[in-house]
Amino acid sequence: MRGAVLVAVAAAIGNLLQGWDNATIAASVLYIKKEFKLESDPAVEGLIVAMSLIGATLITTCSGAMADWLGRRPVLIISSVLYFLSGIVMLWAPNVYILLLARLLDGFGIGLALTLVPLYISETAPPEIRGSLNTLPQFTGSGGMFLSYCMVFGMSLTKSPSWRLMLGVLSIPSLVYFALTVFFLPESPRWLVSKGRMLEAKHVLQRLRGREDVSGEMALLVEGLGVAGETSFEEYIIGPADDIADDHDLSAEKDKIKLYGPERGQSWVARPVTDQSTIGLVSRHASMVNQSGLVDPLVSLFGSVHEKLPDTGSMRSMLFPHFGSMFSVGGNQARQEEWDEESLAREGDDYASDAVGGDSDDNLHSPLISRQTTSLEKDLGPPPHGSLASMRNNSLIGGEGAGSTGIGGGWQLAWKWSEREGQDGLKEGGFKRIYLHQEGVPASRRGSIVSVPGGDAPTDGEFIQAAALVSQPALYSKELRNQHPVGPAMIHPSAAIAKGPTWSDLFEPGVKHALVVGVGMQILQQFSGISGVLYYTPQILEQAGVGVLLSNLGISSASASLLISAVTTLLMLPSIAVAMRLMDISGRRSLLLTTIPVLIASLVILVLGSLVNMGSVVNASVSTVGVVLYFCFFVMGFGPIPNILCAEIFPTRVRGLCIAICALTFWIGDIIVTYSLPVMLKSVGLGGVFGMYAVVCVIAFIFVFLKVPETKGMPLEVIIEFFSVGAKQAAAAKKN
């Protein structure tokens, strides 16, 4: 995973620049107002600081459309250029008007970076470490603030500090960021697949995953373009492809389903079980978990997955622990590639293999499905003429050699072929996409699984019990979907989304449900008090005696406030490091439910420190404890997680647009909180403000408990599918 980690670190530098800018403007404005004599004009002083917020808000309105049209990487390049230009202009800035223009350009760069970096990291990171990598922007942003505070503190100790130099230094790290975005960062493979650029996407995935065989994940990205139509929950007992019961029963034989993996030579047999799977049971009756019906069924649905997810070892090996032996003949045996006569006769133009077009992106209308008889089936002998096996002796999305077939988080992507007798007597059918998830540990089914040729299969006949999320695949026949095809005539699904996202897409049940979660989290984060606590931290710490101590060392009040801010920022970094470690272990929801109560307690402490007179020393000490607790636990939960969730819960085709909506909510909330703070201080005082923030945190805790699901370790496409299914079932439950 080294490639994905390095790419995430490079992308997160965009947030480092944003943190750097926040710190430098807070320090330089002390000197700007002296040079331009703005002491008597606080409106212009406030506008200089706020212009970047205005720019970020304006650019965010079109950032999603830009990301979906141009791609994720070009928008990050534009962001780095805007950062650099703003730094150069601020270094020159002969008057206030030029400075305001530079701050506007800087806001454009900030808005693009903060919108696109979480999106980019989510689309390139493996599911197992996606949360940790998406916490990097929070870490680099705080790190940038710390480095900048250290720099401006050093400059403030000189005889004549230059605010132009403080602001202009931004252009140096911007150049580094520009070089990384141009020469190192690849384009998002999910965006490339959505545009039909399959070969480029494959090469990017090979680089990010560090292996040649990425056929399984390529298939997943294609399937992610089509979100659930009619979706059902099923449960299977899965065995190797030569699974033949000792007590052969024709009725049981009819229940068998042939499943196909995303690589050549992969197929196995599944038998549906009549008992309801855990996931399916919870999905249909999730409201019974809470008799009042307040908890969102989607939360219980996601929770059922994580309750069944193995906690140790490789997710892939746990889902299919004997995949290499059960479903293959042996590494040294050559695969037979001859097709049976019936398959060859039915091939025609509609059954052309993707091998015909090689890796060329120009052959998008040839199917991504290549039919391939498995070597296992060859060893077992030819199937009966006209049987399902003879038609569907294939595998999907051809790959090279053996590789991981898991798609992350204990999930497996497969397809099944179902067919029936049509009215004219001809067989008709189609593929169904299946996301498989382990329901239990491997168990024994005596005498039911025959050893696989090659001698690798377990002799005790192990099988897997798996829950299945079954829906319409993204690979479909555009021309023949209203006819009765006898086989898989497939085209690339990007043709269906080439027109781009539309506003009507936002009203699909799954997307609308996800928007409620994303927008709600952004609003609650902004009104939870971070702006107020940040603003008053220097004042609180100075009351604690830190300012007096620094003045005794000969440090001016301006320099002392900068040093205090640097120390405050430094306190965040270890806490963010802890959050990075826990994000994919404890999970997003668990971290929020653990850290928000601490935020409430710390705000209550700040209220007591403001309202109750316990003596200057005690009040300052209590307030300092409250500030430290608030910062440390905010950056562990409410700081990074809203952006992480927003980058995970939206479909590929509208992800850029939806994240832009969430980011716009963030910036509007930031502006409201920033400009309402002085008014609130005059009306209710500092204790009243912190009390209101505490109430918002209580509301946030309730919202997270009722509405926010746990998404750790799950592939983005599975998360999206669950949102779609959960939203539809919640709507059906309301009607009933």
Q: List, for residues 629-680, the tens digit of each pLDDT value.
A: 998 999 999 999 999 999 999 988 889 899 999 999 999 998 888 888 878 8
pLDDT at 96: 92
pLDDT at 76: 97
- Asked whether the predicted pLDDT for residue 201 surpasses 90, the reply is yes
Q: What's the chain's Rg over C-alpha atoms?
A: 29
Say which range, 159-163, 397-401, 540-544, has the weakest mean pLDDT.
397-401
C-beta separation of 342 from 385 below 8 A = yes
pLDDT at 486: 35
Q: List, for residues 594-640, the tens digit of each pLDDT value.
A: 999 999 999 999 888 878 777 767 777 788 888 889 989 999 999 99
Look up tokens 């026949």; give the residue: 477
- Asked whether the predicted pLDDT for residue 483 surpasses 60, the reply is no
Closest CA to 608 of 591, 592, 626, 593: 626
At the topology level, CATH places domain 1-185 in: Growth Hormone; Chain: A; (1.20.1250)
- Asked whether the predicted pLDDT for residue 218 surpasses 90, the reply is no
- Centre a 10 Å sphere on the Cβ of residue 427 and count the other Cβ atoms it contains: 15
- Centre a 10 Å sphere on the Cβ of residue 383 and count the other Cβ atoms it contains: 17
pLDDT at 290: 44
Cα angle at 209 between 207 and 213, to 5 degrees?
A: 90
**Greater pLDDT, 569 or 644:** 644
- Asked whether the predicted pLDDT for residue 562 surpasses 70, the reply is yes
Cα 280 to Cα 287: distance, rounded to the nearest angstrom: 13
Closest CA to 23 of 557, 556, 558, 562: 562
Closest CA to 321 of 141, 523, 464: 464
- The residue-averaged pLDDT of 674-699 equals 88
pLDDT at 42: 78
Q: List, for residues 115-127, the tens digit of each pLDDT value.
A: 999 999 999 999 9
Q: What percent of the chain has pLDDT over 70?
A: 69
- The residue-averaged pLDDT of 254-278 equals 69
Alpha helix locations (H) across 612-715?
616-634, 641-646, 655-707
**Greater pLDDT, 99 or 50:** 99
CA distances from 293 to 192, 280, 708 (A): 41, 18, 15
Please name the CATH architecture into which domain 505-735 falls.
Answer: Up-down Bundle (1.20)
Cα angle at 482 between 480 and 486, to 5 degrees?
A: 50
Cα 732 to Cα 86: distance, rounded to the nearest angstrom: 52
Look up tokens 């569907």; give the residue: 392
- Asked whether the predicted pLDDT for residue 233 surpasses 50, the reply is yes
Say which range, 90-94, 501-505, 547-551, has the weakest mean pLDDT.
547-551
- Centre a 10 Å sphere on the Cβ of residue 390 and count the other Cβ atoms it contains: 19
**Greater pLDDT, 246 or 398:** 246
Report the C-alpha dihedral over residues 713, 717, 719, 720, rounded to 10 degrees: 160
Token output for 100: 């305001």
- Asked whether the predicted pLDDT for residue 358 surpasses 50, the reply is no
Closest CA to 717 of 413, 432, 475: 413
Token output for 669: 């909330």
Domain 505-735 in the same topology as domain 1-185: yes
pLDDT at 271: 79
Token output for 405: 């077939």
pLDDT at 346: 35
What one-character-per-residue DSSP string does 496-548 give? HHTT---GGGGGSHHHHHHHHHHHHHHHHHHTTTHHHHHHHHHHHHHHTTHHH
**Greater pLDDT, 79 or 245:** 79
Count the residues in the chain.
736
Cα 603 to Cα 630: distance, rounded to the nearest angstrom: 7
- The residue-averaged pLDDT of 501-521 equals 87
Token output for 650: 């939206």
Contacts of 663 (CB under 8 A, 6+ apart): 60, 63, 111, 114, 115, 522, 646
- The residue-averaged pLDDT of 186-214 equals 91
C-beta separation of 522 from 665 below 8 A = yes
Cα 388 to Cα 75: distance, rounded to the nearest angstrom: 49
Task: Write the DSSP symbol of residue 349.
Answer: G
Closest CA to 516 of 703, 295, 668, 285: 703
User: Best-predicted range by mean pLDDT among 162-176, 276-290, 368-382, 495-509?
Assistant: 162-176
Q: List, for residues 416-472, the tens digit of each pLDDT value.
A: 876 655 566 665 566 788 888 766 443 333 333 222 333 333 334 457 778 787 877
Task: Write the DSSP symbol of residue 423.
Answer: T
Token output for 263: 């690589």
Task: Write the DSSP symbol of residue 491.
Answer: B
- The residue-averaged pLDDT of 65-90 equals 95
What one-character-per-residue DSSP string does 543-568 give? HTTHHHHHHHTT--HHHHHHHHHHHH
- The residue-averaged pLDDT of 460-485 equals 60
Cα 660 to Cα 67: distance, rounded to the nearest angstrom: 9
Which amino acid, one-letter code, is at 716? Answer: L
Say which range, 29-43, 166-180, 627-641, has the weakest mean pLDDT.
29-43
CA 642 to chain centroid? 11
HEC profile for 38-59?
CCCCHHHHHHHHHHHHHHHHHH
C-beta separation of 177 from 14 below 8 A = yes
SS3 category, 16 = helix
Cα 661 to Cα 643: distance, rounded to the nearest angstrom: 12
Look up tokens 């330089």; give the residue: 28
Q: How many CA atoms lie within 13 A of 686 on its CB side?
A: 16
Q: List, for residues 299-340, the tens digit of each pLDDT value.
A: 887 877 766 554 433 333 333 333 333 233 333 333 333 223
SS3 category, 465 = strand
Cα 86 to Cα 437: distance, rounded to the nearest angstrom: 49
Token output for 648: 């995970």
C-beta separation of 475 from 431 below 8 A = yes
Token output for 684: 């209710």
Contacts of 136 (CB under 8 A, 6+ apart): 8, 9, 12, 15, 121, 580
**Per-domain boundaries in the chain:** 1-185, 228-243+255-273+407-420+428-440+462-473, 505-735
- Average pLDDT over all residues of the chain: 74
**Greater pLDDT, 148 or 556:** 148
Say which range, 180-194, 221-235, 503-517, has the weakest mean pLDDT.
221-235
pLDDT at 665: 94
pLDDT at 710: 92
Cα angle at 144 between 138 and 148, to 5 degrees?
A: 150
Q: pLDDT-based confidence at 88, cuts 50/70/90?
A: very high
Q: pLDDT-based confidence at 405, cuts 50/70/90?
A: low
Task: Write the DSSP symbol of residue 247.
Answer: S
Question: Based on the number of CB atoms within 10 Å of its own CB, is 259 exposed (0-12), middle (13-18) or buried (19 or more)?
Answer: buried
Q: pLDDT-based confidence at 49, cuts 50/70/90?
A: confident
Q: pLDDT-based confidence at 134, cuts 50/70/90?
A: very high
- Asked whether the predicted pLDDT for residue 278 surpasses 90, the reply is no
